[in-house]
Structure formats: C-alpha cells, structure tokens
A and B are shown apart, each in its own frame.
Chain A
C-alpha cells in the first residue's frame, strides 16, 4: 500500500483565488507530489509562486479548489511552524511548548517527559520559565518548533521559519533542526527563500515557478548525511546551489 510509504501524496492539486476587482489568481496548478515518510523536502521559488499556499493546503488551513491530498496518518496530525513564531505572550517557554498537549488533552507523564527532552534538545531548558518578550528571535523560533513537535505528529510543515533571522543564527538553527529531525524521524516540508538553506537541509528540493504557481523540477540532493559544517565546503554543495539558482532564474 502506498499509504505506508508516503507521508503525503497530492494529486493534481490546484488553487484559484477569486478576486473582486482583478482577474482570478491561479495560485497553484497541477501539483503532484509524493513525499516519503521521514523525508526532508524543501520548497523554493520566486515570491508569489504559491509556496505558502501549498503548505497551508497540505496543513488543512486552506481548501484546494481542485485535486486531492492523501495522508498516511489517518488523523492527519501535523505540526506547523509559522514565519513569526506566534508564541502566546502570556505563557512562558515551557507553557507555550506544552500548549498543544493542553488543547488536545494529552498531558500524560510520557508526553511531558518527551517535551522536556525536546526542550533540552533545542537548548531551551534553562529558559523554560522565560516569557516570549525576553527571548531572541532565534530562541522564539526554537520554542515554536518544539511546540510543533510536542504532540508527536508525524509531519512537520515549516513556512520560512528562519526567514527573519541573521545568517549566523540561521546556520546554527539549521544544524539543530537536522539533529531534531534525525532523532525524531519526522517528515518535514520546509519553505525557504534561501537556496543554500534548502540544499543544506534537504533530501529533495522542490523548485516552483510562478504565474501560474507550478512545480518546475524536483531536485534530489545527493550530499552525504549526517550534514555539518563540512557539507558547505563540499564541491557538490556549490554545484547544487548553482544548478538551483539557474533553475529559479
């Protein structure tokens, strides 16, 4: 059965936004994807090509106007990390990370223990009682990732999670994300503007084109894992970046 192999499959997915005053926007057409379980897939493409729309549709936040989506998880549980961390400002770090467990009434001892491990993994343990306003942008985003992982959903959707951070913090968080990914074995769909970030992180990179939003090519990243600082010095890394840059044009 394919549902055991693929985390998400989309078939001829399309999205049209009706506009009152202008022509309709075709945000997505004919999106056919097969995302394997445990895979790390990045989505890149010019601004307005429908990356966020695709992620929102897969996340169930918007309805497609055509096509269908098949999830391997029957409950289609998933975690979503937004560009702004959207932490609740009145809750401290741990309470924010724990929030999904509260909402879904899953505050069992095991889940609490796993949450503490995730906080540890993200280097947040000593800040667990800090309020969001006391955190740096990078720390907020780490809390937001732990929150998305707290309820052990098999699929993690991330929309430019590190877009607002400086390059150094971003590189650091990329490494941390890979560590979390390999420990938890999640499937990750990762939208980014940065070609290097996509290459560094992914198994495959989905390159999109605009007007109408569509898939141009899916590029397999054959860099060895585990990836680390050395990966960036690998000649293949530069080659892939160059290739992707030309694709986006």
Chain B
C-alpha cells in the first residue's frame, strides 16, 4: 500500500516536471515562430534539439565532454580530500589553525576566477591550471563543512571514547567522521557545483578542450543553436555530478533523521 503510494507520488512529480518544461518549450517555440526571430539571436527549440543530437552523432562532443568530466571529477576529489584533511587538522591542532586561518580567509573571499590568468602563467594553459582552479573552488566549502561537522559532536560522545580509551584513529574513523558526514555532504554538494563552474570558466580562458571551449567557440561564430545545446549539456553534466554526490549521501546517511521516511 505504502509502496504503491510512493510510486504514484514519484510518477506525479515526474508528470509535473514534464508538464512545466513542456509548457516552457511551447512558449519558446511559438515565440520564435510567430516573431520570425533570427536563428543567431534565439533559435527555436527544434533547431537546438537537432544541434544537440548533432553534437553527439558527429562524435564531436565526446572528447570535450570527457575532458570536462575528467577535470570536474579529479578537481573535486582532490579538493574534497584536501578540505577534509585540512578541516580535521584545523580542529585538532590550534597552531595550524592560527597559522593558516588568515590565508584561508583571504583565499575564501578572493574571487578565485580572478586568479585564473595567474594560474595560467604559473601552470600553463593545460589541464593542470584548470584542476588547480577547481581545487581552489572546492576546498574551502568542504573545509568549512568538515569543521562544522566535527564541532557538532556531542561532548558525551567524546567522553565515551575517552572512557573506552580509544586511540586517535579509532575516534576519527568510528565517530568523528560519521558525525561530520551530514554537514560534510552539504558542503560536498556546494563543492561539486563549484567544480563544474570552475571547469567551464577555466575552459573559456584557455585551451581547446572541454564544454567551456564549445561554448566560446559557438558564441564567437554565432552558432547559437550549438551554443544553447552546449549550455544544456553543461547543465546536464552539473545535474549528473550533483546527483552522484546526492546518491552517495543517501547511501551513507541512511541513519540520519533527515532521511527518515
């Protein structure tokens, strides 16, 4: 009975999505057709669709899609790892916190994108400077989330670990990490969005690879259907990577109050 209700709910929400998007596309279609809008200003939905399909059937897009996905994944993984490790060290060792906090605040508030030209000078126009930009955009939210999570541990849980004479590693792996997870995952979801933004922006500025490059290319050649198709693809990549984090969250936080059915 309950199961049935759930599927019905799911189908209904899917239906609502389709309806809402369908309505939007219809307005878009009518607007471009009735007003004879030039294609380079705003192509009609069917032109965008065929361009979108064309990107795949021509095989052109695969290399670019892969390049961006690769940068996003690698930058996100390294950035998250660094954020987790630094967050732990900051909470555990006061002198590291005191020593690095000023830089941290500086870097966290600095618009990282402004640093891209500098990264290009230092690390070249290749994949390295892109990854570094992505890392710099991921690491700070994750670090903050990790710190917040570690601070949320109830003091009696720490007392329990002390009574049991647990060692540092046991305290981290058995208790601290799990307690940090809810806040950590909120920050990872911010981090993955940041990673996609970082990748696209870095690709605008340098190199001939990636979805960001497709966007600048299409824009400079006034191939607007391709531009919008590229934007769509970027959004899809963003949704897909975000959902991966979201699924991991649901798997690992099965015990959390927020996941109660």
Contact = CB atoms under 8 A, between A and B. Distances in A.
A82 B256 contact: no
Q: Determine which residue in A60, A82, A84, A104 has the highest number of CB atoms from chain B within 10 A of its CB, and name it.
A: A82
Contacts of B154: 84, 86
Interface in B174-230: 174-175, 178
Contact of A100 (B156, B164, B175, B178): B164
Contact of A86 (B156, B165, B170): B156
Interface string A45-67: 00000000000100111000000
Contacts of A80: 159-160, 163
Q: Determine which residue in B154, B156, B163 has the highest number of CB atoms from chain A within 10 A of its CB, and name it.
A: B163
Given A61-B162, A80-B160, A104-B165, A88 B178 contact: yes
Q: Determine which residue in B165, B178, B257 has the highest number of CB atoms from chain A within 10 A of its CB, and name it.
A: B165
Majority SS at the chain A contact face:
loop
Nearest to B253: A90
Contacts of B255: 89-91, 131, 133
A78 interface: yes
Contacts of B157: 86, 88
Contacts of B260: 133
Interface residues of B, number: 20
A59 B163 contact: yes
B162 A60 contact: yes
A89 B154 CA distance: 12
A82 B163 CA distance: 11
A90 B156 contact: no
Contact of A84 (B156, B163, B166, B256): B156
Contact of A82 (B159, B164, B178, B254): B159
A202 B53 CA distance: 80
Interface of B: 154, 156-157, 159-166, 170, 174-175, 178, 254-257, 260
Given A79-B163, A88-B175, A89-B256, 17 more contacts: A56-B159, A59-B163, A60-B163, A61-B162, A78-B163, A80-B160, A82-B160, A84-B154, A88-B174, A90-B256, A99-B164, A100-B164, A102-B174, A103-B161, A103-B170, A104-B165, A133-B255
